[in-house]
Each structure stands twice: as C-alpha cells, then as structure tokens.
Structure 1
Amino acid sequence: MQNPAIGNVADTTASDFAELPATASHGPLRIEYRWVNAAAGNAPIAVFLHEGLGSVTMWRDWPQALCERLGMRGLVYSRPGYGLSTPRPHDVKWPADFMTAQARDILPALLDALCIDMRERRRMWVIGHSDGGSITLLYAALYPEELAGAVAIAPHVFVEDISVESIAQTRQLYETTDLRSKLGRYHADVDSAFYGWNDIWLNPAFRQWSIAGELTSIRKPLLAVQGHDDNYGTMAQIDTIAAHVPHAQLVKLDACGHSPHRDAPQPLNKAIAAFVLKDGVA
C-alpha cells in the first residue's frame, strides 16, 4: 500500500527538527519536535513521551493545557518512526529492548541537540503515556539524577494477555477498516509507525519482556496513573511499580480507559498538578 504524503499529516507547520548523529545503536535521525507554552520563559521543562501510535500532533492541546497549569514549558517530540521523524525502514523490526534504547540513547541525544544542559535536566519533569510511560520509567531509572520527577500514564511494566489481545484486535482494524487512513493524518509513513509498534508487541518473544527489576533505581518523585477501564493493561501494571518504587504515588481513575489525557483530562490534570507542584516546581 502506498504511504500517505507528508502534506496530509495534520498541522505540520509548527514543527521544528533536530538532527541526531549516528551512533552504534542507530543511524542519523531527524526528530520532529515542538515547544509549547514558550511564554513560561525560563520555567522548568516538561518532556512529553507519546504512546505507541502517537506523535507530536496526536497530543493535540493537552501538553499546552497541562504546562499552563504547571507554569512550565513543554517539549513534545515524535520518536523515530512516528510523525515527521525519520521513519522506520520497512524491513527493520524493533528489538525487544526498543523502549530501553529510546530512554538510554534517543531522549538524551535530543536533549543534547536542543542544548538542554544538566542544570535544566535536574529541573525537568518527564511525562509519558503508554509505551511513552514505559520509556519515562526507564529514563528515570537509567538517569536517576537527570530529572526532577516523572509521571507515567498507563505505562507498561510487563506484558499482559489483555495488552496482546487488544493489540491484535487493533491490527485487524488497521488492515480492514479506515483506521489506517485516520492514523495517516498523524504520520508521514503510517505503516512505519503502526507495524513497528504492532509487530514487536505481537512477537511471541516479547511476552517475556519486563522492566520491573529496573525500577528500583528510580530516586526522584514518581506518579503512576491508570484508568480502571483500560483495555491495554490492568492495575497490576502500576501496582508493580509501587512494589518496586516504594515512594511512588498511584492514581487510579474511574470511567477512564487507556488514554486518561483524552478520557479524563480534568482529574488527570488535577492529580498531576497536585503531585508536581507539591514537589516545589512552581
């Protein structure tokens, strides 16, 4: 199938691009990013990490609204393979540790490219959703002193049957309905985005994936949020976080599915603001 043209991607005009040099783990990358709430001047930065099918534009206005409430600047970006960032070559499969590579290599390289120094990083909050929530946890574990705190929204800590079943259903919808064309509004190469995510999650070898043991390295404040009606994961995900990070705070939202920033933005924003501002950001 032919990929949608870049011109069809929703609202591309506000994006900027960072060039990341090649490393042992990846080739040269062009990363789409945007600053939000730039009027906050020298306020701390909130970095937003999107879900497995997300991008800069799929966040819509939620990062802006949250940053205004927190009095922070926001950095949103499309991970490699998503949005207008360098697409995943169609013959390349994400490895089982792809989220670790994103936390260990890509995010720090982007921060370097944007000249966000160590002083700024120590004031920085990392906020991630779904796969982005897992990457948030991994970054907080790998670089425990290079952030002020973290918020993981509907993160994956290990693989559950409900996750695999829902992801398999999403593949069927992608291949039989208009889901592909809808997602094409947010990705220059929609197949790169979809199959990169879908293939690894449906790979039988990925069933053994878990980052639970790595969470014990997290030192900074951590908020973990999950909806009771999430069809991609159960409360066992954030309960596992609490078991490995005793200082973590959990929020369990009623009438909320896998995307709290869309399903329950008001209680989510209230919970994040209460947690972040309590820790002296504002």
Structure 2
Amino acid sequence: MAALPLIDVPGGRVEYDDVPGDPALGPLLFLHEGLGSVGLWRGFHHRIAAATGRRAVAYSRLGHGYSDLTTDKRAPRFMHDEATIVVPALCAALELQRPVLVGHSDGASIALLTREVSAMVVMAPHVIVEEVGLRGIDTARRAYTEGGLRARMSRHHRDPDITFWNWNEVWLDDAFRDWDLRPELAAITCPVLAIQGTADPYGTVAHVEAIRDSARGPVELLVLDGGHAPHEEHPEVVERAITTFLAPLG
C-alpha cells in the first residue's frame, strides 16, 4: 500500500486515510483497536463509506502503523487523553464536524469518551477491567514473545515493539485495575450502536450492557456469536447493522 499522508496532532504526526463522501452527510471517524492501524482495518472503512455514502477517515494513533513513534510510557488515562486532546485536534485539522465515531476495542473506549459527536458505533468496547480481559492480554504477551505475533505486527507497524509494549504494559499495570468508564457514560447523549461477541477473550457482554444502562442517548445492542472482531467475523451482518443505524441520521 502506498504511504498515507501525515497530519500534525499534539505529540507528533499521524497517518490517515480520507475516503470522500457526500458532504451533506455527517463524516465517519474510525478509531482502531489496541494493536491496530489504518491498514489493519483491512478496508472496512472503505466498505462502510461505500455503503453509507459518507466521508470516512481512519488514522493510526501515535506509535501505531506508520505514524510518528512515541517512547513515553502510557498512563492509565491514555484513552481519555486521546479522546480529549488528539481526536478534537484531528477533527479540527480535517474539518470533521460532529463526526460519527466508529471504534473497535480500545478505539471504542476512546469513542465513548469523546464529545461533540453525532453518533457512535462501538465494537467490543472496554468499559471496566475484567479478569477475563487481563488473561486475554497476558495470552497476547506470550504470543508476542514466544509465538508469531511480533512477525505479523512487523508487517503493519513501523516499530512493533513500541506498539505492542505500549498497549500490553499499561493494561497489565496494577494501576490500571481501577480503570472504570461507567461514571462517564451518562455524558453520552447521542445514538449508540454497541456490538459485542459472546466469546470475546478480552471482555464479556457486561461492557455493552453498561453502555445501554448508563448512556442518556438511545442505545442499540447487537450481540453476536464470536470473538473480539465482529466486523471481521460477521462482516455482512455488521456492515448492514451500521448502515441501518446510520440511515436516519444526517
């Protein structure tokens, strides 16, 4: 894939892919998972742009993909910082006014913390720290140090070690165990589509149920058989659900 353009945000430059769409419709902003990047959406944002007619932007967070690297150790509030500092700056730079956020995993949690948006699609979001999720993250550590995960990540990230350890170490830090977004969900007043797999190694349906029970905007739940990437495991179902969800929105 050809090199993507870079844009300045607080902390460095991030790569982004900007898919054109109808300017009369609200744009989409895609927020990737903890080990993700623009490339690792595997064209999902292009398919949703085509299905909805909307402009779609996907970017790689600092330290991911071919965005600028960061050597700073992440703190438990790194998703809050992305939502309150980087995402607004990116939206201002790219003129994304009140976008629809489409987030996966850590990206879904960032979406839940972002304000001034028109709607959210959150897939496999994290709201609390569960033991099952920590076991999944520990399993990923073994896959990275002993298996083939590092080699696979090296095909998609400028520095797979920075990408992996920035994600893995903060989640397994004892200081992260009290991380809990539930008190902040009541600030969500826009429509939300929350999608969760029943066999997700990183979390249970408790996360999407917490969003349903606490957000003040309308929340639709879509619970599917499968694991952590419903948009890859059930692409047609998820794409249809997102398209239907967005249809009545401007």
Shorter chain as denominator, the TM-score bin is over 0.9
- TM-superposed CA distance for 1:20, in Å, is 2.4
Aligned to 1:104: 84
* Residue 18 (str. 1) matches residue 7 (str. 2): yes
Q: Aligned letter for 2:113?
A: L
Alignment of 1:131-142 (within 5 A): 131-139=106-114
Aligned to 2:30: 48
Instruction: From 57, 63, 71, give the equivalent of 2:53.
Output: 71
Q: Percent identity?
A: 38
* Residue 170 (str. 1) matches residue 146 (str. 2): no
Q: Aligned letter for 2:88?
A: P
Q: Secondary structure at the match of 1:155?
A: coil
Aligned to 2:228: 258
* Residue 32 (str. 1) matches residue 21 (str. 2): no
- TM-superposed CA distance for 1:229, in Å, is 1.6
CA contact (8 A) 2:29 2:57 kept: yes
Indicate the RMSD between aligned Cα atoms, in angstroms.
Answer: 1.3
CA contact (8 A) 1:14 1:34 kept: no
> What is the distance in 2 between the residues matched to 1:172 and 1:243?
35
Q: Aligned letter for 1:17?
A: L
> What is the distance in 2 between the residues matched to 1:31 and 1:191?
18
- TM-superposed CA distance for 1:44, in Å, is 2.5
CA contact (8 A) 1:18 1:32 kept: yes
- TM-superposed CA distance for 1:61, in Å, is 1.1
Q: TM-score, normalised by structure 2?
A: 0.96
- TM-superposed CA distance for 1:43, in Å, is 3.8
Instruction: From 153, 158, 161, give the equivalent of 1:183.
Output: 153
* Residue 218 (str. 1) matches residue 214 (str. 2): no
> What is the distance in 2 between the residues matched to 1:171 and 1:259?
19
> What is the distance in 1 between the residues matched to 2:199 and 2:158?
31
Whichever of the two has the greater Rg, that structure is 1
Instruction: From 248, 252, 264, give the equivalent of 2:219.
Output: 248
CA contact (8 A) 2:193 2:245 kept: yes
Aligned to 2:243: 273
Q: Deviations over 1:173-225 (max 9, x none)?
A: 10012210110111001111100000001111111100111010111111111
Aligned to 2:173: 203
Aligned to 1:152: 122
Alignment of 1:51-130 (within 5 A): 51-89=33-71, 92-114=72-94, 116=95, 120-122=96-98, 124-130=99-105
Q: Secondary structure at the match of 1:121?
A: coil
Q: Aligned letter for 2:224?
A: L
CA contact (8 A) 2:109 2:126 kept: yes
- TM-superposed CA distance for 1:112, in Å, is 2.0
CA contact (8 A) 2:21 2:53 kept: no
Q: Deviations over 1:56-98 (max 9, x none)?
A: 1001111111111111111000001101111121xx3100000
Q: Aligned letter for 2:54?
A: M
1:243–1:41: structure 2 CA closer, same or farther, 3 Å change rule? closer
Q: Secondary structure at the match of 2:177?
A: helix
> What is the distance in 1 between the residues matched to 2:139 and 2:97?
39
> What is the distance in 2 between the residues matched to 1:84 and 1:42?
31
Aligned to 1:3: none
Q: Deviations over 1:31-60 (max 9, x none)?
A: 111112x25455421000000000010011
CA contact (8 A) 2:76 2:176 kept: yes
- TM-superposed CA distance for 1:148, in Å, is 1.3
CA contact (8 A) 1:151 1:272 kept: yes
- TM-superposed CA distance for 1:277, in Å, is 0.8
Q: Aligned letter for 1:97?
A: R
CA contact (8 A) 2:21 2:49 kept: no
> What is the distance in 2 between the residues matched to 1:94 and 1:274?
37
